[in-house]
Structure 1
């Protein structure tokens, strides 16, 4: 069963959200196509990033925890990761907006963008020799600039709030992938390419990486949704 570890992580991450997508009170199934487009468009640069880093030895995957099928040097489970995790995150965002008033968080848009950009730029300048740290900081900064200043996204605050609410799941999934509860990590990191600041076993860069990916998925999801993403407050 050990070789199915990463595959099972993906399945358990998505299965409950997928089942409840068909609930008549939620009907997230109406947004499957929009999500698929959003996930694929976001996955393209992130998978390219993944392949590049794996080739350079920034991170690598423990073959003991995968089924052994590789695509472009990545385990097939890693490809599924870019569908399963965004699905659960987008589903959670959709449900929280549908059943709760969270648009109040958008009042903090400017503060969030400013803090993220300044923090990431400083980190990039101070740690430009550590590749994962540098690329993650630059990607987060460019994403914020794109969303806030170019497309004028007004939902950064509420998306950030939802990402914070997703943190327990983040710690469980990324914790297992980075070795929590296992004899060895599923994903290993070159210590010379990260800050080596860990949240339990999780490199802090992973949280910024996930945040950037989440924001881009939500942007494309909204862009291609056939219906408004419902909320108690006006969209």
Structure 2
């Protein structure tokens, strides 16, 4: 059964959000028209990145926990990861938007962003000898900047709240992936390519990687929804 562990992790990640997608309050399924393109575009970007890092040895996958099905040198479970995790995280985003009407982090969202952008930029530039650290922090810098230019902070408070809430499942899922609860990690990192600072067994870079993955999905997701709203209003 252990060869199905990564696959099972994907199934567990998506199971509850998928089961609740047709719930009458949040009505997540009605937003899939924007969600699936966002997941597809973001997933393509991250899969190219993932493939590149796998090929150059930034990380590798433990065959002990894989079904053995590969596409372009990536296990099928890794492909699924970029669908199941964004699906679950945007579900968290929508649930929080529904049940917490006030944008509680809105007032501090811009200052947080204005701090994160230069900090991420400096960390990335100071660690150009480490592939995961440099690329990760520089991509996060670019994504935060692009999002701010597009929306001027409109969704940042909601995004940061979702990110903070998503850290709990992140610690569980990435904990399994990096070996916190099992004999060996599923994803094996080359510590020469990162800061070798761990949150339990999770490389600190993963927290930023997760942030960028979520932000890119939300950025595209809201762009598509806004475009549909504008077209609907014009047609009235």
State TM-score, norm by structure 1.
0.93
CA distance in 1, matches of 2:57, 2:110: 37
CA distance in 2, matches of 1:35, 1:153: 20
1:31 offset after TM fit, Å?
1.1
RMSD: 1.4
- The answer for the alignment partner of 1:117 in structure 2 is 117
Contact 2:54 2:60 in 1 (8 A): yes
Q: Secondary structure of 1:104's match? A: coil
Summarize the alignment of residues 133-144 of structure 1 with structure 2, pairs less than 5 Å apart: 133-144=133-144
State TM-score, norm by structure 2.
0.93
Contact 1:121 1:138 in 2 (8 A): yes
Q: Which runs of 5+ in 2 are unaligned?
A: 230-236
1:33 offset after TM fit, Å?
2.4
Q: Which runs of 5+ in 1 are unaligned?
A: 229-235
CA distance in 1, matches of 2:42, 2:67: 25
Larger RCO (CA under 8 A, 6+ residues apart): 1
Consecutive aligned runs of 4 or more in structure 1 exceeding 2 Å deviation: 149-153, 225-228
Contact 1:96 1:102 in 2 (8 A): no
- The answer for the alignment partner of 1:152 in structure 2 is 152
CA distance in 1, matches of 2:91, 2:77: 20
1:134 offset after TM fit, Å?
0.1
Aligned length: 228
CA distance in 1, matches of 2:151, 2:100: 25
Deviations 1:150-203 (A, max 9, x none): 443411122011100111100000000000111100000001000001000000
Q: Secondary structure of 1:188's match? A: strand
